[in-house]
Amino acid sequence: MSLHHKQCGMALIMLLFVMALASVGFIFSSLEPSTIRLERDKKTEEVLQQAKSALIGWSVSHPEYPGILPFPDRGTDGNYDGSSDCVNTAITPLAYAHLIGKLPYNNQTTPCVGTVAGSGLAMGLKESEGEDLWYAVSRNLIRTTAAVATVINPSIADTPTYPWLVVRDKSGQVISSRVAAVIIAPGLPIGTQNRAGGLAGAGAYLDTVVISGTTYSNADYAVANEDFILGEDMRNVPPSHPTYQQPYQFNDRLIYITIDELMLALEKRVAREVAAVMRNYYLASEVVPGNRYYPYAAELGEPTHLCDEGRLTGALPVVNAASGCTHPNPGFTLPNWFTESSWQDYFYYAVSNDCSYATPGCVTGGITVGAQANVHALLISTGAAIGAQARPSSNISDYLDSIENADGDGVFDAVGTPLSSTYNDRSLIVAP
């Protein structure tokens, strides 16, 4: 082969190599944006999920007012500093605009909470575009001053003081009308949105669209059951789309918390707290273990929840547990929020005969909970009234939902029995 042919061959190889590189580069450059987009979307989804978990955790574990949610951090007070901007309604009338803003992660402001409950979510979550998360909360779950009670118990899910928030799908159809809070990742500015100056309001972040002639906006909050929309991302909407009015500009990502999700977690916390109070009562009842006892129950439907001598099953005896019974009262001390929100109306209580004042010491334990026998004491979180159940009532079937739970004997459904639309009893074994 001549030198010329060799050079030609080398040149051809080089050309092929360069072409191959170019095509690889082309593949990368065409893949990259969608890969980055997917990664960013995934990160934003994760951040929203984290924010939801943190908010539920914050609410449920609140030391003074379990179940409340914080006010947002609004810019109208002159800053977005991450603090929950409480509105003291003794001074400023509450406006629904007070209930939408950035998700607070620092302390709550007084006087909405007392002195010990100042901690925030303790995390400054940002979506994948680097923006703070936004947040809107139902009027039912905010506390305006420490002095004004916010009653939060299972009944508020179905019979709230104000209707719950609403979340719609990308067609405008209602997904849920039982929404306690929404958290929104606002995305980059679109259309005429201008976030300059650092104090821009919801309209500079949250989007408004027209679907089949109806306007939906995430940026306004004017009524108790304000609606928010899980709209279609504008990247997926071609200019020719028949139902979305052009220009279609929407890049919010939204996650929401229903009152049912929140209440489920809250009931668990409350039940654990009552069980701990019960166990402390038992330990304090007598120095000698063989002489220890749980309090007698109160009569179901009896408004004062006074301890009833000799009663082994019924309501929780919360008000001065011994005053209706002959046994001494070593102290049945429930937190203020418990009675403030009437949680005593949402528990059924059973004590084994051999754990009572007349027959103390829990030698065997005579209650059966599912497969677990020899239980000393049991709490059942009764949930809200279902169907035809009427409360207050002296009838056990107005509280407990299965034949096994409501037949008045010492045998009850297992802990963790699945909940349904006709069954919301949840057992918690106090001991052992």
Is the CB of residue 427 less than 8 Å from the CB of residue 369? yes
8 A C-beta contact, residue 284 and residue 294: no
Output 44 or 285, the one with its CB closest to Ca ion: 44
Using DSSP, state whether 328 is helix, strand or coil. coil
**What phi, psi does 167 have (nearest 5°)?**
-120, 135
Spatial distance between the Cα atoms of 33 and 409, rounded to a whole number of angstroms: 66
Please state the closest distance from residue 80 (CB atom) to Ca ion, in A: 5
Distance CA 388, CA 398 (A): 8
* H or E element at residue 267: helix 259-285
- Closest approach, Cβ 403 to Ca ion, in A, equals 7
Cβ proximity of 206 and 252 under 8 Å: yes
CB atoms within 10 A of CB 102: 24
Tell me how far, at minimum, the Cβ of 16 lies from Ca ion, in Å: 47
CB of 73 to Ca ion, least distance (A): 4
**Cα distance between residue 225 and residue 136, in whole Å:** 11
Which residue number, 12 or 411, has a Cβ lying nearer to Ca ion? 411
- Cβ atoms 153, 341 nearer than 8 A: yes
Q: Which is nearer to Ca ion, 221 or 332 (CB)?
A: 221
Question: For binding to Ca ion (CB under 5 A), which residues are involved?
Answer: 73, 77, 79, 85, 186-187, 207, 251-252, 382-383, 401, 404, 407, 409, 411, 424-425
- Taking CB atoms, the residue at the shortest distance from Ca ion is 411
Cβ proximity to Ca ion, 207 vs 220, nearer residue: 207
Paired with 375 in beta bridges are 367
Q: 231 or 360, CB closer to Ca ion? A: 231
Nearer to Ca ion, 186 or 301 (CB): 186
Residue 51 CB coordination number (10 Å)? 24
State the nearest-atom distance from the C-beta of 207 to Ca ion, in Å: 4
Of 63, 412, 111, 56, the closest CA to residue 258 belongs to: 56
d(CA 278, CA 267) in angstroms, rounded, equals 16
Least distance (Å) between residue 206 CB and Ca ion: 6
Instruction: Provide the minimum distance between the beta carbon of 252 and Ca ion in the complex, in angstroms, as a whole number.
Output: 4
Shortest Å distance, C-beta 326 to Ca ion: 28
Neighbouring C-beta atoms of residue 256, cutoff 10 Å:
22
73 or 345: whose CB is closer to Ca ion?
73
Q: Which is nearer to Ca ion, 373 or 411 (CB)?
A: 411
What token pair was written down for 47?
């951040």
Q: What is the DSSP letter of 351?
A: E
Instruction: Write phi, then psi, for 430 (nearest 5 degrees).
Output: -75, -45
Shortest distance in whole angstroms from residue 83 CB to Ca ion: 6
Question: Judged by CB, which is closer to Ca ion: 207, or 267?
Answer: 207
Which residues is 57 bridged to in the sheet?
none
